[in-house]
Every structure is written in structure tokens, then in C-alpha cells.
A and B are shown apart, each in its own frame.
Chain A
Amino acid sequence: MKLHNADKTCWNCPAIDLAGKVDFRACGQSVERFEKSLGEDEVYVMAECKRRPELGLFDPMGITFEECPEWVESPFGYMLRDMRVMIPGIDGYLGWALALWLGRLGFQVSGIDNYSRRDWVMERGAHTVVPIARMTERLQAAREVLGININFRRMDVTDRGRLREFIDEVKPEAIVHYAECPSAPYSMIDADHAVEVQRNNVLGTLGLLFIMRDAVPETSLLKLGTMGEYGTPLTGRPLFEGMFPADAVLHWEGREWSMGGELTPRDPVSFYHVSKVQDTFNIYEACKYWWLRSYDIMQGVIYGVYTEQVVADPRLRTRFDIDEWFGTVINRFVAQAVIGIPLTIYGAGEQMRGFIGLQDAMQCMTRLICSPPEPGQYGVVNQMSGYYSIRELAEVVARVGRRDFDLPVKIQRVENPRVEADRHPFEPIYERLPDEFGFEPQVSPEEEVYRMFELLTRPDIKSRIQQKSHLILPKTWWSGDKRQVETLEIWDEE
């Protein structure tokens, strides 16, 4: 069977230097560097391959990944041999897991981090319940256990001078940008926290875009967005993948307009989500102005503890947060179940969300890295393996906990500290990853929840959960209030 990226050409490949656009009709050349040559015959884009300089100057449409010896078959499509991937935010929950995952596949991984995630969690008095090693130990363990050499530099993503130097040195062929604060409640604590989240996220990404323009314009940017950018429109309008499909039409006062290709409305649900929306626009514009190439990945709610690499050694574990600010919902549920606190669902619990397990998220990211966008392309994927109501997920966790771990799991409804609809229609479109990139979910929620229980019921981990159990229930209200939510109802039926 043909691999999903077999027909992509040098036009998509980050190893290409798109040297110039040349108009041979008038013997001349243009200063426009990247404009695609289609449409005007005898106006060609010339390319050089940084990996195969012996090819000279050639038409970048001329060689497919399938034909190029630098692209080798892998379980995730053709993969650029020894591809250099940089992960800003490499110390985080996703960043570390991806670094090990890619390293084992043969990618040359580099990364930066200033440990701000560790600091933010510590500032809230919380901790990762799965202990994680210091970075030096992590790097050493990656070398010893997995044979991976990760080129790490401690730095702040907003330190443009140092980041530029590192990017100049490494010349990454893909950048997976995880160096953002990933918490809605953290951004809603107070003005200082809202400003810090937006400063880090928006300015970090904006600076990175300028650096990419100047240093690595052929590199693809894989930027983590969130399904939360779209909000949950009460009209039931489908949540398309970033843009309206070609046949979408707006009707108004007897007239109609095609909406195809336009960005869909965003309706972020916290100042953190607003920072992600701002990123979306900044990246969209940079792709338009400078022919950068990017996938904006609208990730569903992430959960899980398992990849083959992070379980290979205790020093390789990725972090696992359960506090109200950094614990994602399923992760929090499992922790609550382990220590006998009823799982807390906010409001009616009928909020619908897309979800994806850690291992499946790694698969998606690898497939996207292997199939870079075209110059100038701002592509959006909705990255999720399914969608459920919060209540359904609580029931899955309760079921696995009761059945397989003999835990007396209860579920409670509590006041919803957020401003959101707790009953709403929900129709996410998430077709691109399976259709264009060959993504097939490998892990069901039950399987991954089982793995989480296995780990979290270990006495040492359970004890770490208990130490911070008081930080699980939310006290951060979107209104600005600071008080613990009240229980509305407890269900304990089997």
C-alpha cells in the first residue's frame, strides 16, 4: 500500500533550499523567493537540495518522497533520514515523551526548556505525582537506556537572541513547539498569571516565527493549538479543521457568499485559550507574509502515561500532574479514583470534548513531521481519537477502577467554576489525520485508563497523590472568586 506521504515532493521537503523564482520568458529572475510556479508556464521555482547538492538546481516538484533516497520507509510514512527535529518545551509532559519517541525512530532531537512548567507547578504548591528526573539525569538515561543523544539547551523561548543562535547551530528541519503554558485555570488566577501566560505563549511564538523567517524558512513548524480555540458553538455548527470547507456558504438577506478556505470563528474559553487563538493568527499571517509552513494542531484533551520509551526506565518517565491547574481531566479522575475522592465533574458534566491518548498523540505528531506542509501553507488538523462527554469519561474511569482495581469509585457533580455551556451540541470534524496522514488510533480510553491505574496505584505514587489531594478540587473561578466548589450531587451506583 502506498504510504500517505509518498507523492509529496521536494516542494514539501525541509531539506530543500528554494533558491529563487525565475522567469525565463524574459531571461530574468525575480526577487520573490517562494511563489509557486504553477499557473505561469516558464516561470520556475529553482531548488537546491541541502542533502544532495550533486543534484544542482532543479524543479522542486520533480522528485517525490517515494523516489528520494533521503526519505526512507517507516511505520509512519516516509521519514527523512536523520531528520533534525527541535522541541521547544522538551521538558514538559508532551515534549519529553515526543523527544524519546522520535529519538528511538532515528530522528536527531534537540530541544530547549527553561523548566517553567516545573516552576509553575511548584508555585501552586503542587507536584508531578509521577516523579521525574532532573534534565541531566533524563538526558543521561536517554543515552544509556535508549541510545538517544538529545541536544538540549536550557533557555527561555522568549529569549530570541539565544534561540536564534541555537537554531542557527542546529538548523532543525522541523520545530515542534510545545513551549507554552498549557493551563486555562492558571491563566484565570489573576492579572499576573493571565499576563504571564499570554506573554510566554504569544510572544514566544511570535519571536520564533521571526527567527524561522530569517534562519530556517524551509523548516516546518508544528505548533500545538487546542480544540478549545473553537469553543462549543450553541448553534451546533461543526468544528471544522481550522478553515471552512470549500462548499461552505454564508447566507444573509437573500444573498450568499462562499466561505471556503476562510478561518472559522474562534471562541476561546479562557485567557489561555485566547493566547492560542492569538498564536493561530500570528502563524497564519507569517505563513502568508513569509511563505513559512506550519501545521496548527488543535489537540483534544490529552491523557495517559504510556509510551514504550517513557516506561523503559524510571528516569525516563514524563510528568503527570493532577492539580486543578495542570491536571487534565482524565488524569485527574484516575488520581481521584486511586485515593478515594469522588471524581469531580463540573456542572452537568455534559460538556463534550475531543480526547487523545499520549501514545496516539505521539503517532500523530510523527506523521505530521514526516509530511511537511507546502511553503506558505498554514494547515490545521484537529488531533483527537474520539469525543465524549465528561460524564461518560468519568464513567469509564469508574468502571475500570471498580472492575480491575477493586476501587470504590464515586462520581460527584460540583459547581462549575468556568464560564462555559455544560450542555451543548458538539460535532468536531477530525478527518485530516486519518485521511491524509494515515493516522489510526491504537489505544482505547479503557486501555490507557487501565495503564494509568496500574501506575498510579503504586504505593509511592499513591502517596504522592495523597500529599497533594487538596489541590485537585478547583478554587479558581473564572469570575475571580477564590473558593472551593461545592458538591452538587454524588453518584455511587455501580
Chain B
Amino acid sequence: MDIAKRRIVIIGLDGMPFGLIRDLAGDGTMIHTKRLIKEGTFRQMASSIPAISSVAWSSVITGVNPGAHGIFGFTDLAPGTYRLTFPNFKSLKASPFWEREGSGRSVILNVPATFPARPLNGVQVAGFVALDLERATYPPSLVPWLKSVNYCVDVDSQAAHQSLDLFLRNLDRTLQARVTAYRYLWDQENWDVFMLVFTGTDRLAHFLWHAYEDEEHRYHAAFLNHLHQVDSVIGEIAQRMADEDALIVLSDHGFEALDSDVYVNFFLREQGFLKVEANPPWRWQDIAQGTLAFALDPARMYVNLQGKYPRGSVRPEDRVSVLEDLADALAALEVNGKKVVRRLYRKEELYDGPWLERAPDLVVLANEGFNLRGSIQARQLYGRGTFTGKHSQADAFLLVRGPRSQEATPDHPCVSDVVGIMDRLRQRRWQ
């Protein structure tokens, strides 16, 4: 008996919270999504910890946790040094689903943390952080066409600092070019899996979350309009799909209002955990002898172990007691009378796999409204920048439409469940 696989379409909406898409589907802003929710299985989904796009999407495409895929944040330190590095697709230690045997032909468009692109059976245009289109694209022969339609990997977030109007125009242009690219690839390629991520949703939420929450805000309509446009594309894709194709729509993390940025390394300096050679420090190499712990963005805490770091100051046998002291100090941290920390996780609680050694020793989950930041240069404990929205961990969403979608979808999914869901959806008997 022949076994063939069902085609699958995956649409990602970076940073779209469960509550927001539910509400906008409900009020008619996202009418096509509303229909899909009705037809499929709709769940709140847990993001990775930390709820960072590169970590979460890496879990989505590999089906494993960071201990197995090795991506713990946008930044990391090179082993044995305090040298800051930026992990990318080459650093991913587990295979994405499109590289597994029998995965068929894939179109992978704008998935974050997949730069630089590498050969695959199909087409890939990497999402952010992608430094240039040439290295973001496989096969390279696609690059001239992408340039001809002004394809752009990402909206220029610096534009938003100059003018929100310019940012919104940029957002529109980026979306339109992405739609042009998806249509072209949809028609050109004989694909088995088509994955497309919209990342403007995340940028929109960072800069204009307050505009969403305030109906009187001058950009409230613009906020809704962008999501309305995204919904139209979702509707178009759903309409283009064959009856037997399966559809997954999902986000990698949620969003919520940002009340305060809290600078964890400043706190660690105040509490005596972090010693620095320059004051204020401006690079990680300024970490001095005597440092017990330091943080990388957003709140990944590392014990400064002897033998692991150049100026490691904690003996391995003292690691646990340092972690306990750190946990006690963080648990007591308050800003404006509110506790900052919701929960602390030791790495063994969160991660599992061959790269556990590289994982942060402790990861902090913040209470609502607190945006934890790992800057080494911080000159204050807390503050407020230009951003009005921040990532949230518990409320990504997952929507699955296809035969037996309910059976295929866990009741409480997390980002590393998506590959398993795909596997269950794809299998069908060939008549």
C-alpha cells in the first residue's frame, strides 16, 4: 500500500498573542482567521523560556527544546570567553523539519533565525536576523527576482525611531513584497510544505502596543489595519489550499504592555554578584575577577564558574549556593513596589539535551509589564524606552485546520510540539 503525505501550510505571525487574535477574530477585524478558528482547533500555546523569537522559532522548526537545539537567545558568549557572539542558523544543533529524511519539497519563507540559508530540497529565504539577501536565499538564482520585487527581509526598526508614519509605510511595503514572494513561490514550486512567517506583527506590537490598547490613539486604526491585511493574506492562502491540505497558523510568543524595563546586570552589580573593570562597563570583557554571576539578554543568568570563564570566580562546589543566593536576591527585587520576578527556573527544569552545559544556569520569568534586559552597559535599575509592548511567554497561539486536527493537537501545546503535530497531520493513506 502506498503511503503519501498530506501537504502542509504553516503561517507564522511573529509575536501575535492568543488573546489578541481571538479578540480581533471575534470583532471582525480578522474575519478569515475567525472562519479558520471555527473550522479548526485553536489553542493558547506556551512559548520557549526565554520567550525570544530565535529560541522559540528554533523550537518550532526542530521540535526540540533549547537544550537540544542549542539556541538560548539572540546573543551568547563564545565558549571559554566573555566574547559576545550572535548565534544563527549555523549554530542550530538540531535539524529543522525540512532537512529530515522524507520531508519532501519545502518552501521556507521568512522564518526567523534561519540565516544564512543553506541548500535544501526546495526554496528558503531566511527571516531576521538576515544580514543580506544573497546569503539569506537558496537557491541563489532566486535573488535577482526577489530584488526585482523589492523584497525586504525585515522592516527597518530604526525608521520607527524617526517617524511612526515612516515605520508604518515600511511595514506595509515589506508585507506587500512578502505577499508577492509567497504568491510567486506558491505557483512556481511543487511543494509539500509551505511555511511563511509574517514578522511585521512583532514590530508593530513593540512600537504600538499602546495604540492597540487605546482606541483613541491616532495609530489605533493603523495597528488594526496591518493585522487586517495579514488576515486577508491568511484568507487568500486558505482559499488557495486544496481540500486535503492541512494548515497550521501559529505565533512564537505573545505580547503585553510594557511598564518598565528592568536591567538585571545593574541589579547584580548593586547586589555584589557582578564586578566590573570599567565603570560603567561597556563590554562583556569588562567582567572582573570576583564576579559570581552575570546575565545575558533578556534574563539568562550565568554563574561565573572557575574553568568555564577566563575570570571564573565560583568553585564548582559552590555553584548551588550561589544560585540559591541569586534566587533569593531576585525574588526580593521590587520596582515601584511591585515584585519583578514571577518565577525562576534552573536550567535542569527547562532544558534537556546535549547542549545543556551551554544553557544559562537560571532563567527569570518576569511579572506582567516588566521587561527584563541584560545590557551590561545599564546605568540604572529600571527605566522606560520607546517601546510600549513586550514579549510574553504563556500566550502564543496555535490554530490547526485539517482532518483530525483535534487529535493531532495537544490541549496545552508548546512551541516544540509543532513538528509532532505536523507529523501526525501529514500521514494519510493514499487511495
Contact = CB atoms under 8 A, between A and B. Distances in A.
B417 to A, nearest CB: 23
B87 A22 contact: no
B128 A29 contact: yes
Contacts of B131: 19-20, 29, 46, 57
B387 interface: yes
A55 interface: yes
B59 interface: no
Interface in A52-82: 55-59, 61-63
A28 B128 contact: yes
Interface in B338-373: 373
Contact of A28 (B90, B156, B283, B385): B156
Contacts of B297: 24, 42
B150 interface: no
Nearest to B376: A41
A41 B158 contact: no
Nearest to A25: B387
Given A29-B154, A46-B86, A46-B129, 18 more contacts: A19-B131, A26-B203, A27-B203, A27-B206, A28-B203, A29-B131, A30-B157, A41-B375, A42-B375, A55-B78, A55-B85, A56-B85, A57-B87, A58-B83, A58-B84, A59-B86, A61-B283, A61-B285
B180 to A, nearest CB: 20
Interface string A11-28: 000000001111111111
Contacts of A21: 158
Contact of B207 (A26, A59, A61): A26
- Between B81, B86, B88, the greatest number of chain A beta carbons within 10 A of the residue's beta carbon is seen for B86
A31 interface: yes
Instruction: Label chain B's interface by main secondary structure.
Output: loop
A489 interface: no
A22 B158 CA distance: 9
A58 B78 contact: yes
Interface of A: 19-32, 38, 41-42, 44, 46, 55-59, 61-63
Given A25-B385, A27-B128, A62-B284, A56 B206 contact: no
11 contacts: A25-B387, A26-B203, A27-B199, A27-B203, A29-B156, A29-B157, A31-B156, A57-B85, A58-B78, A62-B85, A63-B83
Interface string B85-107: 11110110000000000000000
- Between A23, A28, A61, A63, the greatest number of chain B beta carbons within 10 A of the residue's beta carbon is seen for A28
- Between B156, B157, B283, the greatest number of chain A beta carbons within 10 A of the residue's beta carbon is seen for B157
Contacts, number: 109
B84 A30 contact: no
Given A59-B85, A62-B83, A44 B75 contact: yes
Interface of B: 14-15, 53, 74-75, 78, 81-88, 90-91, 112, 128-132, 153-158, 160, 199, 202-203, 206-207, 282-285, 297, 373-378, 385, 387
A29 B133 CA distance: 13
Contacts of A30: 156-158
Contact of A56 (B90, B157, B284): B90
A15 to B, nearest CB: 16
Top 10 A-B residue pairs of the complex, sorted by shortest distance between their CB atoms:
A28-B157, A41-B375, A59-B84, A62-B83, A57-B86, A30-B158, A19-B131, A26-B206, A58-B85, A26-B157
A27 B283 contact: no
Given A23-B158, A31-B156, A56-B91, A62 B84 contact: yes
Contacts of B374: 42
